[in-house]
Amino acid sequence: MEAPPSFFLSQNRSLTLKPSSPLHSHFLLPNSNNNNNKNRFSSTCEIKSNLRNWSIEHVREMNKDSSIHGNNNSSSSSFSSSLVSVSAATSSEFRTKNAKKVVLFFCDETKSLAQKIASESDSIELRTISWGKFPDGFPNIFIPNAQSIRGQHVAFLASFSSPAVIFEQIPVIYQLPKLFISSFTLVLPFFPTGTSERMEDEGDIATAFTLARLLSNIPISRGGPTSLVTFDIHALQERFYFGDNILPCFESGIPLLKRRLQDLPDSDNISIAFPDDGAWKRFHKQLQHFPTIVCAKVREGDQRIVRIKEGDPSARHVVIVDDLVQSGGTLVECQKVLAAHGAEKISAYVTHGIFPNKSWARFEHDNGGHPESAFTYFWITDSCPLTVKEVTNKPPFEVLSLASSISASLQI
C-alpha cells in the first residue's frame, strides 16, 4: 500500500506536498508575530484540489522557542518542521496515478472475470495464453510474447474448479515467475478441497494440503515469493498450510455484501444469521453492526436438527451468511427454522457458489410472503465462474463481482 504523502513545513512556512505528488498546493500558515512568547501554534487546514479533498489530521504543536536557522524573513519566528500525516479521503483516484502496471493472464474459465478486473483499472493489461491439447490429452501451452513481460508485474487469475483443470494451469503458474518478471501474483478466488477435509483418522488424505503444497512450490521470481490472493478460505488453519515461499493474502467478499445491503430498501431491517459457529467465527467481526442470529446443529436421538442458538429473527429480513454452499442443505435447514421463528424475508450470501450437480436449482425466488420455502435474494460472488454462467439472470441469484477487490489487491 502506498504511504500517505507527507507534509513538511518549510522555512518559508508554506506547506508543500512531497515528494512529487501532483497535488501541489501551497498555503501559508498564520504568521506569528510575537517572537518571544512561547506561543502555542496549531492550526487545522483543509486543502482542496482537483482530485481529492485532503484534511490534515494532525498538526503538531510547535514550540516557538525551538531554534532553527532563520533567514531574514523568519528570524523572528521559529518553528520546527513537523510531519503531518494525511489520510486519503478516497483512494481510487490517487492510486490510479501511482498504480503499478500489472499484466494479467487468465484461463478459459476466468476470462470474463479477468475482463471485469481489467476494466476497473487502467493499470491492468490483459494478455492471452494459447491453451491447446496434444492428442494424448496433455496440455500444449504457449505464452505469446513472453519476452515482453520481462521486468513487469505479472498476475494469473486461476480457477481450480476440478482436478482436471488444475494440471492445465499449474505449468503456467510454475513458468511465469521464471520469465524475468518483476513480481508474480496468483489470484485464486476460491481455494477448493478445503471443505470436506476432516483428518479424523490416520489414513485420511488431506487434498487441501496437497494443493497448498503444489502452490507453495511455485518458483520465486525477481520479486521474491509469489503472492497468493484468495477469498474466504474455508478453514482458518489453512493459512498455515502454506510454506514460506508463498505469501498468502486472505481477502473477503463480505465488504461486497455490506455494500449491497446498504442499497436495499429495507436496509435498516436486516439481521445476519450464521448457520453454525464456524461461520460466526469467520465473519462476525466484519458484520458487527448488524443484529446477529446464530444457529447450531444439535443432536436429537439419531437426527441432527438446526436450532437457533441466539438472536431473534421475527419480523426481520434475515440474511444467512456463509463462506460457501455445496448441496445447500445447511441453508435450507436454517431457512426453515428462521421462518418458523417469524422471519419476514430470508436471503442468503455465500462467497463461493460451488453447487455441485446443479444444486442451485433447488433455490426458488420469494416474491413475497414465502420465507419458509424461497429466498428473496441469493448472493454469490464470481469466484466460481462455472456457477456464475448458470445462475446469471435467474432470481433469486445475484452475482456480486470480486473484480474491484481483486484489482485493488493486485496493487499490493
**Which residues of the chain form contacts with other proteins (CB under 8 A)?**
134-147, 161-164, 166-168, 170-172, 174-175, 179, 192-193, 195-196, 201-207, 209-210, 213-214, 217, 326-327, 354, 356-357, 359
- Least gap, CB of 228 to other proteins (angstroms): 17
3-state secondary structure 111-139: HHHHHHHHHHCCCEEECCCEEEECCCCCE
**Does the CA dihedral 8-10-13-19 come out positive or negative?**
negative
Q: Contact at 8 Å (CB) between 321 and 257?
A: yes
Spatial separation of the C-alpha atoms in residues 18 and 32, rounded to whole Å: 24
Residue 36 or residue 130: which is nearer to other proteins going by CB?
130
Contact 294, 308 (CB under 8 A): yes
CB 6 within 8 A of CB 83: yes
* Closer residue to other proteins in complex, CB, 32/359: 359
Q: Dig out the grid coordinates for 70 from the structure.
A: 532563520
For the bound state, the minimum distance from the C-beta of residue 177 to other proteins, rounded and expressed in Å, comes to 12
Give min distance, CB of 243 to other proteins, in A.
Answer: 10
Q: What does DSSP assign to residue 359?
A: G
Angle at 205 (CA atoms; ends 201, 210), nearest 5 degrees: 145
Q: Which is nearer to other proteins, 105 or 379 (CB)?
A: 105
By beta-carbon proximity to other proteins, the closer residue of 139 and 223 is 139
Nearer to other proteins, 233 or 337 (CB): 233
Shortest gap between Cβ of 162 and other proteins (angstroms)?
5
40/198 with CB nearer other proteins: 198
Q: Report angle CA 139, 388, 171 to the nearest 5 degrees.
A: 20
Task: Choose between 241 and 377: whose C-beta lies nearer to other proteins.
Answer: 241
Pairing of strands 378-381, 345-353: parallel
- Closest distance between other proteins and the C-beta of residue 206, in Å? 7
Min. distance of Cβ 278 from other proteins in angstroms? 18
Point out which residues pair with 231 in neighbouring strands. Answer: 251
Please give the span between the terminal C-alpha atoms of the chain, in angstroms, as a whole number: 6
The smaller minimum CB distance to other proteins, of residues 188 and 403, is found at: 188
**C-beta of 169 vs 409, nearer to other proteins:** 169
Residues in Cβ contact with 391 at an 8 Å cutoff, skipping those fewer than 6 apart: 353, 355, 360, 380, 397, 399
CB of 196 to other proteins, least distance (A): 5
CB-wise, 346 or 354, nearer to other proteins?
Answer: 354
Alpha carbon of residue 4 to chain centroid:
21
Q: How far is the C-alpha of 120 from the C-alpha of 184, rounded, in Å?
A: 20
Beta strand pairing call for 246-251 and 226-231:
parallel
To other proteins, the closest distance from the beta carbon of 272 in angstroms equals 26
Shortest Å distance, C-beta 241 to other proteins: 12
CB neighbourhood size of 409 (10 A): 19
d(CA 394, CA 353): 14
User: Least Å distance between CB 333 and other proteins?
Assistant: 17
CA 160 distance to own-chain centroid = 19
